[in-house]
Structure 1
C-alpha cells in the first residue's frame, strides 16, 4: 500500500516525523499512534473534553476514563493483521457524538502499530436527525394535503352540474390552497400572518376595486393547519361575495376582522366576514346552500376544532368563525 508519493531515501524518518506531526496539528486532526504493547507514542489535537497536561506517557485510562478506555482496548484487541480496521461511535452525556476509527499498520523493521483517529460527528448526526424529522414532517403534511384535495374534489363535484363548472371551481380552490401553502412554506412551516394570508386570497379577485375590502386584525400568526383551512374559507367567501354583493364596484363593501380573545378555555381567534347584499339579491340561495353543507359550515370549523355561525339579515351577510389559537395540528 502506497503511503507517500515520493520520499528522499535516508532522510524520511526524522524529517517526516516532525513534518507530519506539525501538519496534523495545523489541520486540527486528532490521531493517536499506539505501539505493539498498546502504549501511546504520539497524540495530536485531542478534542477539548479530553485534553490535559501529562508529565508521563498517558494511557487510554488517563485520557478517556476507565469505561471508554476498556471499550477502546477491546476494539484494538480485535485488530490482528496489518490492514485490519475497526470503528466505534459513542455518544457523550451532553449529546456530543464521536467516532473512533482504528487501523493496524505495519512499519518495516519496526513491527505493527495502531493508528486511531477521533472525529466529532455531532453536527453531522444532528443534520441527519433533522433531515429525517423533516422528511417525516413532509410525508405527514403531504398526506394531509392529499386528504384536503380529495375533500375539495368531492364537495365540489357534489354541488356542480357539469364538468366545466366543476373544473372552474376546483381549480380556484386548488389555487387558494396553493397560496396558503406558499405562505406556510416561506415561513419554514411556522405558519402564516393572518393579514398576509387574507390579502393574498382576496387581492386577485378585487384587482379592479382594491378598496372594496377593509381589514382589521390583531397581529396573529396562524398555525400551518389554521392558515391552510382559513385560506380555503377566505376563497369561498370572496367568490360568493362576487355573486351576492357589490365587492367589484363599491368601496368598503366588505369588512374582514380577526382578533385574539381570552376565554376560560384559553385564547381563541375570532374571524369575521361581513358584506352587504346587492339590492337585487333577495335571498342568496346558492350561498346558503354552500354554507350549510360544505367548506365554511363544516369542513373548516371541524379542521380547526372550532365552530362557525353564518347569518343573512337586514340585507347583510355575516360569517363568524371561532377556533383555538393553536388550532389543530
Structure 2
C-alpha cells in the first residue's frame, strides 16, 4: 500500500484543487452574470425613462387640446411645439400630429379646412378606401418640407397604424403601433425605422348652457418616434454602458427589429451572458436582448481559477514527491535494518562455520594422515604422500576463494571441493552434467554445501574408502541437469553415495546438516531431499537459477 501512497496523495490533492478551481470558475461566471444583469437593468431603466418622458409630452399635448375642447389652431399648436425645444429636450421624437376622424365620404369638409389653415390645397390620400373611417393628418409639428407632404395622409388605410388607432378608439389610453417605416407613406427619399403612439381626443358635443356631458371622438393625437435616435439618446448618458442592445416589437424576429446597437457584442462569453427583458410601451409588448461588449469587465479575473488549478497541481506534485522521498527513506531504513540483521546473522554463521570448518579440517588432516600411514611402507613414503595431500588441499582452497568472486562453473566447484576433502584428483565419470555458471552468492552457498556433503561422505560413507581405492572404483556419483528456459530455469543436482552397509537417518541433526539446509532453502530459495536406503544415500537439491 505504501508504494501507491504518493500516487493516491497526488490524485486526492489534485482532485480537491481542481474541484476548488471549478467552484472558483463557476463563482466567477456567476459574479459576471449578476454584474451584467445589473448593467442590463440600468440600460433598461434609461430606455424606459426616456420613453416615459416622450409619452409625457404626448399627454401634455392631449391636455392642451382637452382644455380648448379640440379647438387649437395651427398657429397655437406651432407656438406650443416651438416652446418645447424638441431637438434639445426630446431627441428621437420625429414630431406630434393630429388626425381628424371622419366618415368615409365626408372628406370634402376636411380638405376645405386644410385649405383654410395652410393656404394651399391638400387632398386626402389614398383617394379610395373600403373602410368606414378615415383619419387624415391635419396638423403636424415641426412642419417642414418633409412633413408638408404628409398633410392629408389617411393613416387608417395602413394596417399597422390602423391596428393601434382602433385600440385607441376603445379607451383613453395611449397605444403604440408596431414597427413602421416613417416617411414611407409620403414617398420620401429617406425613411426611418420607428413607431407611433396614438391617443384619442374627445370633444364635448352638447351646446353651451345645457347641463350634459355628451362627448365624442374628434380625432387622435399621435407622436412619431425615430427608433435609432430615441434609443441612442437614452443610452448616451454617462457613464456609457458596455452593452449591445437589440429591441424587438413583440417576439424576437428579424422582421420585428426596432433597434440594434452599433457596438458589436463580444464573443468571449458566447450566449452565457445574454439577458432578455420584456417591457410594455403604450400597451404594446417589446423584447429587449442585452449582450456584453468588449468594454465589459468581469468582477474578478478569469485567470484566478486557472492559477488556482495550476497551484493545486503543483502542490499535489510536491506532496507526491515528498511522499515518494519519505517512502524511499523508509525503504532505505528498512533495508539497512534488514542488512544489519542479515550481517549479524551471517557473522554468527561465519563464526560457527569457521569453528566447524577448522574442526573438520583437523579431522580431514588426521584422516588423511591415518589413511596415508596405513598405506605407507616407511616414514619417507608417508612424509611424501602426506605433504602432497596437504598441498593439494591448500591449492584447492585458493582456487575456491578466487572462484567465489566471479562466475564459477558448477563442475569446477565440485572438483575443487571434493578434491579438497578427499585429497586427490577425481577420476572421470563421477561428475556429469552441462556447463552451469554460478553467481557469487550461489557459488558460496553451494561451495559450503558440497564441502559439508563431502565431509559427511568422508566421515560416515564409503566414499572415503573408495577414495583410497587404488583401482579408482568410487562409491560417490554426482550429476546435475537444468530444467526450463531463461528466467524459469531450475538446477536439479543428485548426490548419490553407494556402500555395503545400511545407512539410517541420524537421530540428531548436527551443525553441518543445518548449514546445508540453510544454504539451500534460505540462500538459494531451493529444496533438499535426503533418501537413506539399504545401498547408501541419495540427496536431491532443486534450486532456481538466475540469468
Superposition TM-score tier, normalisation by shorter sequence: 0.3 to 0.5
Instruction: Look at both structures and tell me which one has the larger radius of gyration over its CA atoms.
Output: 2
Higher strand share: 1
Greater relative contact order (Cα < 8 A, sep 6+): 2
Higher helix share: 2
TM-score, length-normalised on structure 1? Answer: 0.44
